[in-house]
Amino acid sequence: LLGHVDFASEMTMRVARAEKALRTLLPPRTSRPARLHAAMRYSMEAGGKRIRPVLVLAAAEACGRGAGRDADPAGAAVAIECVHTYSLIHDDLPCMDDDDLRRGRPTAHRAFDEATALLAGDALLTLAFELLARCYAARPELCSALVAELAHAAGSRRLIGGQMADLLAEGSRRVPSPELDFIHRNKTGAMIEASLVMGGLCAGAGPRVLGLLRRAGRELGLAFQIVDDVLDVTEGTRTLGKTAGKDARAGKATYVSVHGLDAARRAARRHSAVASAAFRRLPGGAPFLAELATTLGVRTR
Ligand code: GRG
């Protein structure tokens, strides 16, 4: 595995690469209508951990066949961050979670207004597919595979379906465990899984490797959501950059409310260990991805 310093610097390097691509590929702040483009950039450039684009870049590298043969994964990385950011903007709207704080700043509808936030989210979702179409136009088969992967992951059976199920479960803290799994696997897991698979696709990975990436993504996604649930209880608003303790106040079903804090911590470690083991079976042992999975599992302290 990577040393602590190596891992941190590799992470920083990939985040920087994703952010550079993102600034290049988003419409300029001043293009008309400037208010809309300012709102899109406001949310996209607010920071965030950039886990999904980092996963795209890292999976492409792990599966890479070398310069010249692989497609540049940067377009896919930005596309997935666009979809993720749209989902956060819409999730924060008054008709959903009604939140004031995201990524350490006022939410989009607070900084602008509700209609602008709604449209900025719509525009980011649309932009994601425009980017895939434009960045991968020279590789039609890859392009359609990327579009299919992202569209499915963001669609009614996965991201949006998970969000719907989550809203329907609100107020019932005792949701059955399979229902909670459905919510987690889709609301959080789908985009994590798609990030890894899209990275693999850019690198021309075959079915076996794509299967490993998907499996690792499933486990990592579960670990990620469980950690998010734990931190909502154990951390403060300042550390999180979003309102802490919201799940409990909203009567939300979370891994913690259903299974308890200790079991949640154990489950996060278990799922991230399985993800890490799947990454280690990738060509070259994917040390960065393996370490990322392990680090995530212990983030709950
Ligand atoms: C509105 C279609 C639609 C979906 C909303 C993303 C989402 C689904 C809801 C946000 C609430 C939540 C806890 C979702 C689970 C996924 C998750 C942990 C999102 C936060 O992702 P991070 O931690 O955020 O990667 P940053 O800001 O770091 O990018």
pLDDT digit string (tens) for the chain, length 301 residues: 577 769 999 999 999 999 999 999 999 999 999 999 999 999 999 989 999 999 999 999 999 987 778 999 999 999 999 999 999 999 999 999 999 999 889 999 999 999 999 999 999 999 999 999 999 999 999 999 999 999 999 999 999 999 999 999 887 767 888 998 999 999 999 999 999 999 999 999 999 999 999 999 999 999 999 999 999 999 888 888 888 887 777 778 788 988 899 999 999 999 999 999 999 999 999 999 999 999 988 876 5
Question: What is the whole-number distance in angstroms between the Cα of residue 106 and the centre of ligand 1?
Answer: 16
> Which of 97, 228, 296 is the pocket-test mutation for ligand 1 (most atoms within 8 Å of CB)?
228
pLDDT of residue 120: 98
pLDDT of residue 140: 98
Task: Check residue 101 and report its DSSP letter.
Answer: E
Please list every protein residue whose CB sits less than 6 Å from any atom of ligand 1: 48-49, 51, 87-88, 90-91, 103, 159-160, 163, 187-188, 225, 228
> Which of 42, 56, 91 is the pocket-test mutation for ligand 1 (most atoms within 8 Å of CB)?
91
Q: Which two tokens stand for residue 178?
A: 């399979």
CA nearest ligand 1 atom 17, residue = 188
Question: What is the whole-number distance in angstroms between the Cα of residue 13 and the centre of ligand 1?
Answer: 23
